[in-house]
Amino acid sequence: MLIINCPLCGPRDHAEFTYIGDATKNRPKSDDISNDDAWYDYVYLRDNPKGLHEELWQHSFGCRCFVKVVRNTVTHQIIATGMPKEDLILDEKGFERSV
Amino acid sequence: MKKGSSEVFSFKSRRQQRLDDGGQINRLEPINFTFDGKKFTGFEGDTLASALLANGVRLVGRSFKYHRPRGIYSAGIEEPNALVALRSGDRHEPNTRATAVELFPGLEAKSQNRWPNLLLDYLQINNLLSPFLSAGFYYKTFMGLPGWHFYEYFIRKAAGMGDGTKFKDPDKYDKKHMHCDILIVGGGPTGIAAAVTAGRAGARVILLDNHPTLGGQLNGELFFLDEKPAHYWIEKCVEELDDMEHVTIATRTSAFGYYDSDVVNAIESVSDHLPEPPDYQCRQRLWQIRAKRVILATGATERPLVFSNNDRPGVMLASAARRYVNQYAVRPGNKAVIFTNNDDGYKTAFDLARVGIEVVAVVDSRKKIPEHFEKELNEKEIEVIPRSVVVDTHGYFGLNSVEIGTLSQDGKTIESNPFIVSADLLAVSGGWSPNVHLYCHSGGKPVYNDAVEAFVPGALSQNGHSAGAAKGSFSLNDCLHEGHDIASTLVKALNFESAKQIIPETNEKNIVPIEALWRVPGKGKKFVDLQDDVTESDITLAHREGYVSVEHLKRYTTLGMGTDQGKTSNLNGQAIMAQEKAEPIEKIGTTTFRPPYTPITMGTLAGRDIGLSYKHTRRSAMHNWHKQNGAIFVEAGQWLRPQYYLDELEQPSKENMDTAINREVQTVRTSVGLVDVSTLGKIDIQGKDSAEFLNRVYTNGWTKLPIGKARYGIMLREDGLVFDDGTTSRLDECHYFMTTTTSNAAAVLSHMEYYLQVQWPDLDVKVTSVTEQWAAMALAGPKSREVLSKLLPTRNVDNESFPFMGVREFDIEGVPARIFRISFSGELSYEINVPADFGEFIWQRVLEVGRTYNIRPYGTEAMGIMRIEKGHVAGPELDGRMTAADLGLQKLLSTKKDFIGSKMMDREGLKDKNRPRLVGLIPVDKTSRVKSGAILVKDPTLAPPVPKLGHVSSSAYLSPTLGHPISLGFVSGDIIETSKKVWAVSPLHNESHELEITDPIFYDQKSERLHD
Ligand SMILES: [Zn+2]
């Protein structure tokens, strides 16, 4: 029943989206190829936070954009959305989109 | 049967209980209906329960566990007792609440949970066995004994609800999505006042009520607003709201769940009050409402009191008794005792007395009796017995007398000898519990309020604001004001100008506070949960056995687990547990309320998404041709594909599945065949970094692929295991065309989009699915080149001009085509892609041209057999657990570049030499059909645990080319080295077969047929 604000399409029902996963994981650069820990972390390690979680959803039945979503895992409230590489940072009032 | 055996209660002695006038029923519209096959008449405006009471029917069911006679207990959706089966045949519906069923012509209802009939129910022996049937009895007694499965059938039959129908539901169900500024749940005084204020302010308002008309509790009361009966005010408000275009009033619509993002789901009973839905109309409609703000004006539910034998027909909630009198003009009894711990019982006493029902006494457990009722009590000559309780009741099929005693100071014993008065109606009120269910669904935590002795909403969660009785404000004046006030606050928050509303004056008396009375001393069965037959002693037993948390209490005793979800019982049960533990109720807490608030039909949740609409069916552009030419279809994901063709021309009446598949394989191997491969995923890739991108996505090298060439590749996941395989062709400098397996088409696209958008946004590449845009067919067989050259008379398609893995863009009959010389069957083969609209035309054209070579279409079975013969991996091998080496594809792993999975694929476990790897398998007897999925072991006679050596992934029950069955499978590396044979076992089918391990390529190992 969530409404996700797609940065390209605007607010849409979550049924149009596919949940992808943790948005904080970045593929280690190829010169990190010997860094086992970085790869282990990227491929396997996922936090299961109680509270705010940065995650990716794909607007599969819309523009097919990957959307970064900051969601409260306790209340399911969506605090902010943006493009995958966008920094959605916390200020004193809670999460807000930085431009 | 002790007391009741001498009593004769039959339908013949029924007394008509309808009042001569009053009520909100339409006496001009009599309605005939049946109950247990007997004919009755009620009026428009009746519920089934009020019509039964009007006809003097008190006994309507048997209880869940003890099969005790039960009557109508309430006048609303909270009903725990009067559950009946409604309608018959394919519209038969069990467990409907007689108190919530609107009477309609021809209504057919049956009592439940009795055998053979209501008066003579053999299972009432459970009542005599009841000392043994305490909480947890069945599990303690039968579980763990051998044969639980045997007892279970009888236990479930004895302790059960109504039976469902086995027929298909004939009705339609619909869904509707709504948006509004303010959603108001509940059309009682609070909801109406809120709607008027919000509507006047100009907010988009939706007002829901589960009854046929608005008014809520007001419809069951004799309230005066501004000195006129309350319905004048209701009508005036409804008229005003009806005139507002931005206000939607939905009656017979019950909000059953409050979800995330302030979404409230409701079920509209469109046709349930009719014998059957009108033509083209649905039975019920699901509303999914997204509201900016929600007002929960859901009211409150009256609680029973817990005393010995408090379940007999004739015992009823006090508010229900007066609703039957006021709204339905029915006498629920003729001689009444009222038992109360709050002011509510007095209202009932007065309303009953007003219509001539003899009120024997008001038994009030409180020490302080309300003085403001004194005048009216004297006028109506109603006796009040203070600090007293009903100790016990008598009457088997229906109440006939009540024992009254005085409570000791500490409330734990009865002081004097109880005295008996005769009565056929006992109206009870244990106070009111706010309906906090939707508030809880929204994420709220209710808190205990001592003043009203009930759980009330706590802090706000989401935007659902409780008001009126739902908030614990039980006076009408408070309800009206709170409705107005909350609406006014919320419209302001949404930037509307707030609107004025003059709240009418009420005629309420002051209220003397409730004094909690959770249970009455006494020895008889004291029911807490009438629907689940949970008694006070079950709760004390649960306490003694340590099931003290409310969630454990619920599961151990089944308290509140019936279809009513404990609407009348939860708090009493929790309070008794609190007393046992000597802790305050707020410490005990309350169980979690979950949707749905009231039972809903599965049909409404499914809506129109049933049958063929349940999932999409995808058909290729050539589907109609297949259908007209003997294709037998098989589902492949959402696709329908020809599995094989029953070719009547070929061998009339002789053709069957096996011969057809055989014939199709031989046609391709010896001459030429045509197969529809439109279902393969097709992805168009463009952009100047496309080659670099493919190089990262596939394991092999792509930068040197020339224009006009195709290449086979595999993709890994980041963890190093194989994800998918397929062919990608270079059409132009920056333009590629990728094919994926049918089942992974969507996943591969999303996989690539993820890397392009999230990990490598710097790459200039665009990917688009074009699966639907292209129809594809593979022309395969030694004669395929001859067919192609006839199709393209002006083109040179010889081996040099159009070599293996070549790609050409030619026009066929003026249709632009992409032709790929690639092969899945192991034969010389051309995959022809044309725009989907021309698919059928080109398909027919190819068959026409190929007629001289006896060309035949073939289906997925023949295709599958040929790829097994050729040892090609497909879906069953690419199961997400295999490395490239497991599949024999290690030569496709480039060592000169990084690609997705290249880091993780070299982990020790994935390089283990003993990992199962792809092999061919042939039954030693050359005839056995080995099931795919069979487990490979060393010896079928071993006792478990038997080490697993691998599994069979794909099987051809007969390879027409080789003349015997063949399979592909995976066998541990060490076994391949040391042993030539394994056993395939399929314990489910009780089968085992000895297999010879071979090379996975059974046919044309040097692939000469592809290259020449
Ligand atoms: Zn979008």
pLDDT at position A27 over 80 = yes
% residues pLDDT > 70 (chain B): 94
Position A34 scores a pLDDT of 66
Please give the structure tokens belonging to residue B981. Answer: 């044979």
Q: How many domains does chain A have?
A: 1
Do the strands B735-740 and B681-686 form a parallel or antiparallel pair, or are they unpaired? antiparallel
Q: Is the dihedral of CA A69, A75, A77, A79 positive or negative?
A: negative
Selecting from A30, A56, A65 the residue whose C-beta is nearest the C-beta of B898 gives A30
- Taking the C-alpha atoms of residue B188 and residue B248, their distance in angstroms, rounded to an integer, is 15
Locate tokens 């043994």: which residue?
A: B132
pLDDT at position A99 over 50 = no
Answer whether B661's CB lies under 8 Å from B861's CB: yes
Higher-confidence position of A93 and B740: B740
Locate tokens 């063949």: which residue?
A: B966
> Is A82 within a domain?
yes
CATH architecture type of domain B3-127: Roll (3.10)
Domains B173-300+434-493 and B618-679+774-858 share a fold: no
Q: Which domain holds residue A78?
A: 1-25+49-90
Position B508 scores a pLDDT of 84
Residue B611: pLDDT band (50, 70, 90) is: confident
- CA proximity to B569, closest of B558, B554, B559: B559
Q: How many CB atoms lie within 10 A of CB A10?
A: 10
Taking only the tens place, the pLDDT of each residue in B820-839 is 999 999 999 999 999 999 99
> Is A61 within a domain?
yes
Going from the C-alpha of A81 to that of each of A85, B104, B144, the distances in angstroms are 11, 52, 53
Taking CB atoms and an 8 Å limit, are A66 and B290 in contact across chains?
no
Cα B715 to ligand 1 centre (Å) = 27
CATH topology of domain B618-679+774-858: Gyrase A; domain 2 (3.30.1360)
pLDDT at position B862 over 70 = yes
Which DSSP state fits B602?
A: H
Selecting from B288, B754, B759 the residue whose C-beta is nearest the C-beta of A20 gives B754
pLDDT at position B131 over 70 = no
Taking CB atoms and an 8 Å limit, are A66 and B758 in contact across chains?
yes
pLDDT at position B770 over 60 = yes
Selecting from B753, B759, B903 the residue whose C-beta is nearest the C-beta of A39 gives B903
Taking only the tens place, the pLDDT of each residue in B8-37 is 344 444 678 999 999 999 999 999 999 999
Taking only the tens place, the pLDDT of each residue in B579-599 is 999 999 999 888 888 999 999
pTM of the model: 0.86
> Is A43 within a domain?
no
Going from the C-alpha of B642 to that of each of B7, B639, B732, B825, B860, the distances in angstroms are 72, 10, 33, 16, 6
Taking only the tens place, the pLDDT of each residue in B774-832 is 999 999 999 999 999 999 999 999 999 999 999 999 999 999 999 999 999 999 999 99
Report chain B's mean pLDDT, rounded to a whole number.
92
Residue B129: pLDDT band (50, 70, 90) is: low
What top-level class would CATH report for the domain B173-300+434-493? alpha beta
Three-state DSSP string of B114-179: CCECCCCEHHHHHHHCHHHCCCCHHHHHHCCCCCHHHHHHHHHHHCCCCCCCCCCCCCCEEEEEEE
String of DSSP letters for A62-73: TT--EEEEEEET
CATH topology of domain B684-769: Alpha-Beta Plaits (3.30.70)
pLDDT at position B649 over 80 = no
Residue B696: pLDDT band (50, 70, 90) is: very high
Q: For residue A81, give the CATH number of its domain.
A: 3.30.2270.10
Question: Which of B90-99, B366-375, B615-624 bottoms out in mean pLDDT, i.e. has the lowest?
Answer: B366-375
Nearest CA in chain A to B260: A1
- Helices B189-201, B230-242: axis angle to 10 degrees equals 30
The ipTM is 0.94
Largest CA distance in chain A: 43
Nearest CA in chain A to B897: A30
User: Would you mind telling me the total number of residues written for chain B in this entry?
Assistant: 1012
Helix (H) or strand (E) holding B683: strand B681-686
What top-level class would CATH report for the domain B304-430? alpha beta
% residues pLDDT > 90 (chain B): 83
Position B518 scores a pLDDT of 96
Domain locations along chain B: 3-127, 173-300+434-493, 304-430, 618-679+774-858, 684-769, 908-1011
Cα B293 to ligand 1 centre (Å) = 26
pLDDT at position B338 over 90 = yes
Taking only the tens place, the pLDDT of each residue in B168-192 is 999 999 999 999 999 999 999 999 9
Residues of A within 8 A of B719 (CB-CB) are 43-44
Q: How many CB atoms lie within 10 A of CB B56?
A: 16
pLDDT at position B931 over 90 = yes
Residue A2: pLDDT band (50, 70, 90) is: confident
Q: Is B768 on the interface with A (CB under 8 A)?
A: no
What top-level class would CATH report for the domain B908-1011? mainly beta
